[in-house]
A and B are shown apart, each in its own frame.
Chain A
């Protein structure tokens, strides 16, 4: 299977703390993406990191990619209650036209 796998499955933190989520995958990729989903809604793209990149920042988000270990991490700094959601990593197929997701990490930020 090409699907990614997020870890942990669930994470609960206090507002202001940092949240770290991890993703592992099995096959070679062109890029890896992170998405966020609020309950019962569609996914929203957060950040894309290409296979030749090691780290990327966007606002309070920091993503790392280690292609030798086939793993990525998403760090959300100074978390807010509004960050409460599920977070998914997605990997693409060799052809680049198919995207595979895991089961996600459910993040709860307590005010």
Chain B
């Protein structure tokens, strides 16, 4: 148990559906992340919420929309996805000390998403 919980564990959706992935951390961290992991590709950093700042990877399509209502919860809203969006979506959290570099990430178990 890493202290980072993701739900659901598996998700199958059609291209016209709208769904949301949820992540919750119980570690008191001040930064949360969404990563996408596809086969044979590097983990792709999608979004970061850190110290009340949002950083996004400009290559992520707008059909992915993050929401971070507080420092413990993170959502990824999905709509009109494509089959190539099928992947393992990983949430992570960390504690950022300004000016001291990144500390270790704690990952959830991921949501395996299949888009039909």
Contacts and interface: CB of A to CB of B under 8 A. Distances in A.
Contacts of B109: 41-42
Interface string B1-26: 01010100000000000000000000
A105 interface: no
Interface in B37-57: 40-43, 45, 48, 50-51, 53, 55
B105 A88 contact: no
Contacts of A35: 105
- By size class, the interface of chain B is 35 or more
B103 A90 contact: no
B61 interface: no
A48 interface: yes
Contact of A42 (B2, B41, B48, B53): B2
Given A40-B88, A44-B2, A88-B43, A97 B48 contact: yes
Contact of B108 (A42, A45, A90, A92): A42
Interface in B77-116: 88, 90, 92, 94, 96-110, 112
Interface of B: 2, 4, 6, 31, 33, 35, 40-43, 45, 48, 50-51, 53, 55, 88, 90, 92, 94, 96-110, 112
Interface of A: 3, 30-31, 33, 35, 40-45, 48, 50-51, 88, 90, 92-93, 96-103
14 contacts: A30-B101, A33-B104, A40-B88, A42-B90, A42-B107, A44-B2, A44-B107, A48-B104, A51-B101, A97-B31, A98-B45, A98-B55, A98-B102, A103-B42
Given A45-B104, A48-B103, 4 more contacts: A30-B102, A97-B31, A99-B94, A103-B42
